Each structure stands twice: as structure tokens, then as C-alpha cells.
Amino acid sequence: MLKLYDNNKELTFAQGNKIITHMTSDEDEKYQFETALKPEGKPEEWLVKLDIEMKKTLQIFVKRAVFNYAKADRIEWIRKEIGMVAIVGT
């Protein structure tokens, strides 16, 4: 996976390898896709869909972070985010 996508070590499959639910980075940070992806059809087609889903999910994460950062106390926001990274990274 690292050769196909920058910093993508592995994908997590579920439901008998019928859907892709998570991505894990080279640093072992794991995140769940907003929409699970079915690896159906030609590999080059579902790999493009995978690329789109990775970008979409990361954009949503960034939007949430920006929105929540402005609403919360800075120190509490950082503590909460560090805690979420620890949970996601396990």
C-alpha cells in the first residue's frame, strides 16, 4: 500500500473482506472512513474510489477540527484531540 498511496500502510477489511472500513498510516495511526468502500470490479476502478474516499474522509476530519477548535477552550481542545489521537492510534 505504501507504494500506491503516500503513508498508507494497510487497509482494514470487514464483513468477510467485502468492505474496506479503515486505513492505517505508516505511523500506525488508524482512522475509519466516513463511507465504507466495496472493493468490487476492476482493481484500478476501486482503487480510484479508495483515493476519493480517503480525501473525503480527511477533509471532513479537518472541517470538524476547525469548527470545534473555534468553539472550545484552546487547552481543553488540545487535550481532547490528543486523547482522540491516542484512541484512534491504538
What confidence tens digit (pLDDT) does each residue in 7-52 have? 888 899 999 989 999 998 888 888 899 999 999 999 999 989 998 9
Is 14 within the bounds of a domain?
A: yes
Range(s) of the domain holding residue 52: 8-88
Length of the chain: 90
Is 3 within the bounds of a domain?
A: no
CATH number for the domain that contains residue 61: 3.20.180.20
Is 1 within the bounds of a domain?
A: no
Which pTM does this prediction carry? Answer: 0.69
Q: How confident is the model at residue 84 (pLDDT cuts 50, 70, 90)?
A: low
Is 29 within the bounds of a domain?
A: yes
- CA distances (Å), 72 to each of 35, 46, 65, 80, 84, in order? 27, 38, 10, 10, 15
How many angstroms from the chain centroid is the CA of residue 38? 16
**For the chain, what is the domain count?**
1
Is 2 within the bounds of a domain?
A: no
Over 70: is that where the pLDDT of 85 sits? Answer: no
Helix (H) / strand (E) containing 39 = none
